[in-house]
Structures are given as C-alpha cells and as structure tokens.
Amino acid sequence: MKNRNTISFASDNSAPVCPELMEALARVNSGATFGYGNDDHTRQMEERFKDLFQCDLRAFPVATGTAANVLALSVLTPPYGSVYCHRQAHIEMDECGAPEFYTNGAKLVLLDGEDGKIAPTDLVAALSASGAGVVHHVQPAALSLTQVTECGTLYTPDEIASLTDIARSHGLSVHMDGARFANAAAAMGVSPADLTWRSGVDVLSFGATKNGAMAVEAVVFFNPEEQAARIKDFEFRRKRGAHLFSKMRYLSAQLDRHLEGDLWLRLAGNANAMAARLKDGLSSCPDVALLYPVEANILFARLPEATIDRLETEGFLFYVMGARQNGQVRLVTSWNTTADEVDAFLSIVRQTGA
Ligand SMILES: Cc1ncc(COP(=O)(O)O)c(C=O)c1O
C-alpha cells in the first residue's frame, strides 16, 4: 500500500501518470520532428481515434479539459448565442468564465435535472421559451452534456439521443464534455461511437488527464466534411487561444498510447471497480448515505462529522462539499486506486461507528 498520506479520493487528477504513458513519452523523446502537430505521432494518434470511433473525424490535442470545452464551444456558438447545460456543469461551475471568454460572451442557459442529468422535458421547455429569432434574445446555439456527469451518473446512448434529437430539431449543435468519457465507456461497455456521433454528438472533449495521462485531452470533431468550416475556425482559435503546442508529439504520443490495446478502458475500469467497492462498503454503514447513484468513479456521500474528522486525521484526502456539519463528501477513485486503499478507508469509517 502507498504511504497513508498519499491515499487520495480527492480527484482522479491527483493520481500520477500511468507507467505506460511515461514510457510512451520516453519512446518519442529522441530525434527531431516538425512542431505544431505536423509530425507522424500526431497523424498516428488521429488514425487511432478514427479506428476507435469507427468513423472519419478530426482530433486536436490540448492541455486541459477547460481548454477542450471552451475551444469546442467557441466554434459552436456566435457571441450572441446560448449554450444549454446542466446547472452543475463544469463549464458553469468550474471554468472561471472561460466559456464566456472564449465564445466572446455567449450565454450559458442553466437547466436543472435529477442526478446531474438534463431531462428532455426541461430542455424542450427551455428551448420553447428561448426567443429564437427574436432580436432581443440570445440565440440558442448549442447543447453541452457532461459524460460522466458532475454527480457521477451516466447518460445512456438512448438518453443522449433523445436530448440531441431535441437539440437538433431546434437547430442546436451538440458538445459533450467527456473529461471522464473513458469511465462512462468502461462502465457501460458501449462503443465510443454509440456514445457520441451515433447518438448525435458533434464535438467531444475527450479526457485523458483524469485517466492516467499528463495534461492532455483531445477535441474530437465528428463528420469532418459537414463541420469543415468549424474545424478551420477551431484551428485558428486554438492558436489564438494559445493552445497550439509546438512540441505536440508529446501530447499526441500519450493519446495514441492511451487508446492502444484498450489501455484507456483498462485504467478507467479499475477506477470504476474501486468506486463500486467503496459504494458496497459504504452502503452497509447505517449512518452513511449515498447521495446519487454510483455508476462510474465518483461518489457523493453523507458521513457523520466525526467520521470526516477521523479520516482526515488518518491522512485520507477528499473534498468536503459545503458546510462541514452537513457531512457531504466527494470521493473519486482513480486508475491506480487499490482495493487495499478502499478497504483502509472503509475500515476507518466502520471504526467510527458510522
Ligand atoms: C466534468 C469536467 N469537465 C472538465 C474538467 C476539466 O478540467 P481541467 O481544466 O481542470 O482539466 C473537469 C475537471 O475537473 C471535469 O470534472
């Protein structure tokens, strides 16, 4: 087991880079290549995405999930447009206004919905009241869905399709924030194609950092012929937004290795399995409540305050959400979380009588 001080359920981005990706970095770390993505590693990475998603596409590496989201949104909406998203969406809560900044002021329209998921009826109601075509109102431009949601739940392909059908019928494009797309794909055992373009997604922020990579995500455009103008726009915006990496091979090599031999699914599968173990253990504790269905690698639970205190004293890292006396915590498992770590956490919870 790792040193107790390093047992973290704080976030999957608190985990280290996985050895396979460090090796991939070492492998490409010799000789010269052209910069800015004009290299064989980047071309190979894009081919790998095409194989995985079983379609033609364009894939552009960037360094953060925020960059992926906001650069994607910047080509889906005009400055006077609006992006429909869940009230708890990362683009609303945790991106410091970057969506508004990169879109030159487009508006986020917030939708409620149980367990972090937008309900089709709410989307229809919001779009019906949007004032489309009226010069006084922002114009509906895009729908953004998060998979895995911020509550740790999943959209099935059918649920995605019913939302994207509504979006499409109102002339909106569809973005998916897939910071934890791997966890969703691994949990559902559904093909990446079914979770995206076959269900009506136009642009995907494909996350890798939370799943064992070092600061790399990809913006993936499906139907590149149809989206040619957007893709061109994206390339200029990425450069202007300072996310065109000169040493691109290091980002591309990680994405390429991530997808090779299903490594990405194996890493995410471990995180999901450890979350399931944590869920099973916590479910048997009478004073612990799980706040949302546990479907991937994020759990929200209510614990007695004394249990939180003890876990922190023992050196476990995790976030307490809101007022401490409410006892709400977020627990996130990672590609390298072990059963021993989960059991050590559960043992402390049980020792406090929770
Ligand atoms: C749902 C979601 N989207 C996007 C991100 C990307 O964030 P960052 O810009 O920190 O890489 C995160 C990270 O916490 C996230 O949870």
- Compute the distance between CA of residue 107 and CA of residue 354 in angstroms, rounded to an integer: 44
CA angle in degrees (0–180, nearest 5) for 143-147-150: 95
Q: Is the CB of 177 under 6 A from ligand 1?
A: yes
Average of per-residue pLDDT values in the chain: 97
| Structure confidence by residue, pLDDT tens digits, 310-331 | 999 999 999 999 999 899 999 9
Tell which one of 12, 66, 203 to mutate to probe ligand 1, the residue whose CB is within 8 A of the most ligand atoms: 66
Residue ranges for the chain with pLDDT beneath 50 = 1
Which of the following CATH numbers is that of domain 19-262: 3.40.640.10, 1.10.150.530, 3.40.50.800, 3.40.50.2300?
3.40.640.10
Q: Is the CB of 66 under 6 A from ligand 1?
A: yes
DSSP secondary structure string, 277-314?
HHHHHHHT-TT-EE-S---SSEEEEE--HHHHHHHHHT
| Structure confidence by residue, pLDDT tens digits, 130-181 | 999 999 999 999 999 999 999 999 999 999 999 999 999 999 999 999 999 9
Q: Which pLDDT value is given to residue 11?
A: 96
CATH architecture observed for domain 4-14+263-351: Alpha-Beta Complex (3.90)
Ligand 1 center–CA 282 separation, angstroms: 26
Give the start-to-end residue ranges of the domains of the chain.
4-14+263-351, 19-262
Which residue's CA is minimally distant from atom 8 of ligand 1? 65
Q: Which pLDDT value is given to residue 246?
A: 97
Q: Which pLDDT value is given to residue 3?
A: 52
Which residue's CA is minimally distant from atom 6 of ligand 1? 65
- Compute the distance between CA of residue 258 and CA of residue 211 in angstroms, rounded to an integer: 9
Ligand 1 center–CA 264 separation, angstroms: 17
Say which residue the tokens 């087991």 belong to. Answer: 1
Atom of ligand 1 nearest to the CA of 215: 11
Which of 101, 92, 83, 31 has the alpha carbon at shortest distance from 242? Answer: 101
Q: Is the CB of 150 under 6 A from ligand 1?
A: yes
